[in-house]
Structure 1
Amino acid sequence: MLIVLADTVFPDSAIERNVLAEAGHELVIADSPDQAVELLPEADGVLTAFLDLSAERIHTMKRAKIIARYGIGVDNVDVAAAHSQGITVTNVPDYCIEEVATHTVAMLLSLLRKLPEADRHVRAGGWGVAGVRPLRRVSELTIGLIGFGRIGRLVAETLAPLGPTLLASDPYARSVPDRVRLVEQSELLAASDAVLLHAPLTPGTAGLIGTETLLTMKPGALLVNASRGGLVDLTAVTDALRDGRLGGAALDVFPTEPVDLPSISDIPNLHVSSHIAYYSEEALRESQHKAATQIVRVLAGEAPDYPVVPPKESE
């Protein structure tokens, strides 16, 4: 069967090609988004990272049995439209848990210890603590995690030995470890010295951290987002950093990417990275192999490992 690779975001596609070839399938790699769209009517399966698979485009997919997305989110796929046509949608929800958790903790500790500021202080000829005051002891802090799935749990597990009070807010969490207290989001925001975002992007979570939310947070609190850029109103956050209501923020993801540089220039205590929290060489290989494997399973009439259910069916 014909499998269309809609966008090549990896160094090469040898893993997918080998997995699919072993099952007797042909892989065609689109040269551009326009060519990928042209190939959709012929595809028995589609592998994609970022191609916009709207309802209109999905309706052209007369042969397809599966859309397999690299990565966790499926924001670019109209899952309901796919299911209405009998097309299975899959993702890879467990491929970069360690990487995103590690990146989140690294960003948090960098904010808490003011490492970029310390670096600039030394390079400017300074020395001692004057350039980084005040610093807080981690064990005296309250850290809140909004979203407590695989990544949030690993972040909490990583931070626990440092001794902070850990809060979590997640409407779907049924249980939490002993070191974590499950609370309402409003309580978490009001009590936390640092807020870490690990929620999916949905209509209900878009703009989760905005002007009103920021006013409910502790003065001088920190914010870390390595989850979805749309969870944060970037203008509201940069305004809060400028006027000192937020003590610092670390962002790996942005509502629009690449980020508009003037919008983040000269912002005090803002640490940024370029949507790399998911990345390690091992994570990329895992994502490629697992996404291609979902194609093979579904086309063989087997159940996928990672089916994505339309929102209306999960409510």
Structure 2
Amino acid sequence: MPTVAILGTRYPDFSIEQEILEGVTIVGGAGDTPHDIVDLTNGADVVIAGSRPRFTAGVLERMTPRAIVRSGIGVDSIDINHARRLGFWVAYVPDYGTEAVAFHTLSLVLAAMRRLPQSDRLVKQGSWGFAELRPMHLPSTLIAGVIGYGRIGQRVAHLLRSVGFGSVIAHDPYQAEAETDLGALLATADVVTLHAPGPDDGSALLGESELAAMKEGSILVNTARGTLVDASALAAGLAQRRPRFAALDVFSPEPPNLSLFAGVKDQLILSPHTAWYTEETQSDLRAKSAWEARRIIEGEEPLHPVVRPEEAS
């Protein structure tokens, strides 16, 4: 009987997967360490993986299965080049969560603009008034900059326009309609949202120099990948009000090391990597991941392959 190992998810059970993977044994676990991944996948045919398990070259070498379905959009948790050399199947699920992530992004933008966490804290502490919350501005007076203009970035841009932003500009080297230079966007935008995969070498897209170039008093929102922003540089930038506020749903590592932000915590809005989540989105993601695993087991090509076995070198 084929076996599928499901690692690094936060699902209460595997009922959705069991329905699709009828006749398949399902095992599950955290996959937080290399040993854990190798042990849990021993004897499996396919791995379905959340974002936390890290499939390094060493892990890939020791794994029994030669197929990974990344249950999500990004594959930066997998050493793709080594997986290709070893003849793996690697597939992913790019077509889920657009609405959930876009609305979470908009929620963070508006919460930062209206200083909602700070307002809540002040009132609960017995304060009344808004001197500490100044300045606030209408969206119509502001410029929003969207970095990464794929499905989610385009939806975020649409939502920002719908709430009345005076201008929405975008940067994406792979999209002709997102031609604003990155430096110009950072220097111009009052609100910057991130939806990009990040540099191929794993370095931060926004480091010390990029953050220093941001408009003073601006807002940075990241619902894409924690590695896009250098955390130490962001802490230093917040102290200089470039940006003034950061709203983050993703971190590197996860959970984050918040000691870096000890002096600027009031300038942060944080959520625990939940931008993707609604009940509907989670069900959709789980079903699509399970169907990809089933296709591989049955000898078919997955709908969204990243690496194919015939690419082995």
TM-score (norm 1): 0.88
**2:3 alignment partner AA:** L
Distance, in Å, in 1 between the alignment partners of 2:211 and 2:87 is 43
**How many pairs were matched up?**
303
- 2:56 alignment partner in structure 1: 54
- 2:116 alignment partner in structure 1: 115
- 1:192 alignment partner in structure 2: 189
- 1:93 alignment partner in structure 2: 94
Distance, in Å, in 1 between the alignment partners of 2:19 and 2:113 is 45
Alpha-carbon deviations, 1:65-84, whole Å to 9, x = none?
A: x2111111112212222233
Asked if 1 retains the 8 angstrom alpha-carbon contact of 2:38 and 2:63, the reply is no
Asked if 2 retains the 8 angstrom alpha-carbon contact of 1:4 and 1:36, the reply is no
**2:273 alignment partner AA:** H
Cα distance, 1:26–1:208 mapped onto 2, change above 3 Å:
same
SS of equivalent to 2:244: strand
- 1:168 alignment partner in structure 2: 170
Equivalent runs, 1:234-273 vs 2, <5 Å:
234-267=231-264, 268-273=266-271
TM-score (norm 2): 0.88
Distance, in Å, in 1 between the alignment partners of 2:30 and 2:122 is 47
Distance, in Å, in 2 between the alignment partners of 1:93 and 1:87 is 19
SS of equivalent to 1:47: strand
Distance, in Å, in 1 between the alignment partners of 2:221 and 2:30 is 36
Alpha-carbon deviations, 1:122-150, whole Å to 9, x = none?
A: 23333343232111110111110111111
Segments of structure 1 that go 5 or more residues without pairing to the other structure are 176-180
- 1:288 alignment partner in structure 2: 286
Distance, in Å, in 2 between the alignment partners of 1:216 and 1:205 is 21
Distance, in Å, in 2 between the alignment partners of 1:211 and 1:201 is 16
Cα distance, 1:193–1:38 mapped onto 2, change above 3 Å:
same
**1:115 alignment partner AA:** L
- 1:232 alignment partner in structure 2: 229
Segments of structure 2 that go 5 or more residues without pairing to the other structure are none
Cα distance, 1:92–1:26 mapped onto 2, change above 3 Å:
same
Distance, in Å, in 2 between the alignment partners of 1:269 and 1:62 is 46
SS of equivalent to 1:144: strand
SS of equivalent to 1:214: helix
Asked if 2 retains the 8 angstrom alpha-carbon contact of 1:199 and 1:205, the reply is no
Alpha-carbon deviations, 1:15-48, whole Å to 9, x = none?
A: 1122111xx3222335765354135452221111
- Cα deviation for residue 60 of structure 1 reads 3.6
Higher mean alpha-carbon deviation, 122-131 vs 141-150, is at: 122-131
- Cα deviation for residue 53 of structure 1 reads 1.8
Distance, in Å, in 2 between the alignment partners of 1:77 and 1:279 is 22
Higher mean alpha-carbon deviation, 217-226 vs 28-37, is at: 28-37
- 1:150 alignment partner in structure 2: 151
Distance, in Å, in 1 between the alignment partners of 2:251 and 2:30 is 27
Distance, in Å, in 1 between the alignment partners of 2:280 and 2:169 is 31
**Backbone CA RMSD of aligned residues:** 2.2
- 2:25 alignment partner in structure 1: 26
- Cα deviation for residue 276 of structure 1 reads 1.6
Distance, in Å, in 1 between the alignment partners of 2:134 and 2:303 is 49
- Cα deviation for residue 204 of structure 1 reads 5.1
**1:280 alignment partner AA:** T
Distance, in Å, in 2 between the alignment partners of 1:294 and 1:201 is 25
Alpha-carbon deviations, 1:213-259, whole Å to 9, x = none?
A: 12221111111111111111111111121233322111111222211
- 2:83 alignment partner in structure 1: 82
Alpha-carbon deviations, 1:143-190, whole Å to 9, x = none?
A: 101111111111111111223201110011144xxxxx6311111111
